[in-house]
Homo-oligomer: A and B are copies of this chain.
Amino acid sequence: MSTNVSKSVTKVAPENGADKSSACKVALIGFGTVGRAVAKILCESGNQSLQLTHICNRNIARKKQEWVPAGVVWTEDVDSVLDSDVAIVIELIGGINPAEQIVRRALESGKSVVTANKQLIARHGPDLLQLAASNGVQLEFGASVAGGVPVLPALRAGLSGDRLHGIAGILNGTCNYILSRIESARIPFSEALEEAQARGYAEADASEDLDGGDARAKLAILALAGLHTQLTPESVRARTIRAVDAVDFDYAAQLGCTIRQISRADLNGDTLFAEVGPCLVPSDSAFGRVQRNLNLVLTSGQYGGDMAFLGAGAGGDPTAVAVVSDVMFVAAALSGGRREIASQVLRPIVSSDFETAWYLRFFVRDQPGIVARLAQILAAHHLNIDSLLQKPGFEKNSLPFVITLEPCRDSMLHPALEEMSGLEFATRPCLCLPILR
């Protein structure tokens, strides 16, 4: 849908925008792939309400980037960040140690925390949320599950009014890449794994992905945020995908199915049914159609019914979007409510002049020379015919047929349509529909 869109967006700068001195100060701890992408978005966005003040990492001298504003402090010293006056700490170092201590100390010192740390939240989420609440600050972790799919923010903001009883998802991009590759190429598991490793979709030791450890940590977080249940990742059974082979896709296909690693949790009274592992799913189901390393999350609620969220599961940029969105959410709460919509509104020129391929359907009284006449008009307007379709079996006095055109702008097509509208053999106005690819 985005072929005609440049990547730069002109924003009308808010006249009444807060100047940087009143901006919310933000520190970044961990400057790997996601950290760099977060810094880039913060620096590029021109967002006046956020100010990046610190970037903290080991061997920081080697990490410096030219595009980071001069005022930002580069440091290896976590203490100096925690002792500073930043309002929000972004934790992107991952793992439990020392991330847990850093997050606890930040919350205890009255700073809100945004983290993408799946293991930390899966293990200590309820504790840390309690600690945040008792210190009057916020802890957000929207990037910890399916980074590019805003399912956690949606659970928090858009589905909080429902009473969810089920969550199921394709939460591990590595497994989905491997399984959908075996499906499409019928290669052995080992070959699909090697391919995933060569393309950077799987680590050298992929056990955490293949055996379900990664997905069950994410499921524990989804269960916490969506089902309000607390469970340890270890309490969720995980089955490996290593035993799935090409022949299983042949048999699954005979059953109208394919195979995906599914993480699922269903709440029934005090019991949470939960597990992670390869499952047969119908080929034409939402799960069955998820290809490559995409993520899909389905929720089931008492009032709102079923909902699906699909998007990029991981990657630096999508994860960074989730992190920055959380930072903006916390900053808005700190300043007493959102204002981004009200303060940064563009009044665009509105145009319907899309460039697309076109479907033109005619009803005509059959007579010689109709197609020649239409083709002549189209040619005169420099419009290229892509195909001509005519089904048999209609009456000669009102015959439907179709011309499709190669992509052109609406404004190019319009004069030709005008000219064709007056043709004496037409029994109905031409129906003109865009073809979206």
Binding site for B on A (CB under 8 A): 1-2, 4-11, 37, 41, 45, 126, 129-130, 132-133, 136-138, 142, 148-154, 156-163, 165-166, 168, 224-225, 227-231, 235-237, 243-244, 247-248, 250-252, 254-255, 257, 259, 262, 264, 266-275, 277-282, 286-287, 289, 298, 300-312, 317-318, 320-329, 333, 336-354, 359, 361, 387, 389, 391, 400, 402, 404, 429, 431, 433-437
**Is the CB–CB distance between A305 and B300 below 8 Å?**
no
Contacts of A225 in B (CB 8 A): 341
Cβ-neighbour of A345 out of B37, B228, B391 (below 8 A): B228
**Is the CB–CB distance between B161 and A325 below 8 Å?**
yes
Cβ-neighbour of A304 out of B6, B235, B303, B321 (below 8 A): B321
* Alpha-carbon distance A154/B251, docked complex (angstroms): 39
Contacts of A351 in B (CB 8 A): 271-274
A5-B165, A248-B431, A262-B436 known; 15 new pairs, CB 8 Å cut-off, are A1-B266, A2-B165, A126-B342, A157-B157, A161-B320, A161-B326, A161-B327, A230-B346, A255-B389, A264-B436, A279-B436, A289-B289, A303-B318, A305-B318, A333-B337
Q: In angstroms, how far is the closest chain B Cβ from the Cβ of A171?
A: 14
Contacts of A228 in B (CB 8 A): 11, 340-341, 344-346
**Is the CB–CB distance between A251 and B402 below 8 Å?**
yes
* Alpha-carbon distance A142/B252, docked complex (angstroms): 41
Number of copies: 2
Q: In angstroms, how far is the closest chain B Cβ from the Cβ of A242?
A: 10
**Is the CB–CB distance between A267 and B5 below 8 Å?**
yes
**Chain B residue with minimal CB distance to A128?**
B342
**Is the CB–CB distance between A434 and B279 below 8 Å?**
yes
* CB-defined A-B contacts under 8 Å, sample of 15: A5-B267, A126-B345, A137-B337, A162-B324, A162-B325, A224-B345, A231-B350, A254-B389, A267-B348, A270-B346, A270-B348, A282-B436, A304-B311, A305-B317, A333-B333
What are the 7 A-B residue pairs with the smallest beta carbon separation, nearest first?
Answer: A150-B158, A161-B324, A153-B158, A161-B325, A153-B157, A272-B348, A237-B352
**Is the CB–CB distance between B275 and A352 below 8 Å?**
yes
Beyond A237-B352, A308-B308, whether A270 also contacts B153 by CB under 8 A is no
* Alpha-carbon distance A361/B311, docked complex (angstroms): 32
* Alpha-carbon distance A400/B402, docked complex (angstroms): 50
**Chain B residue with minimal CB distance to A220?**
B350
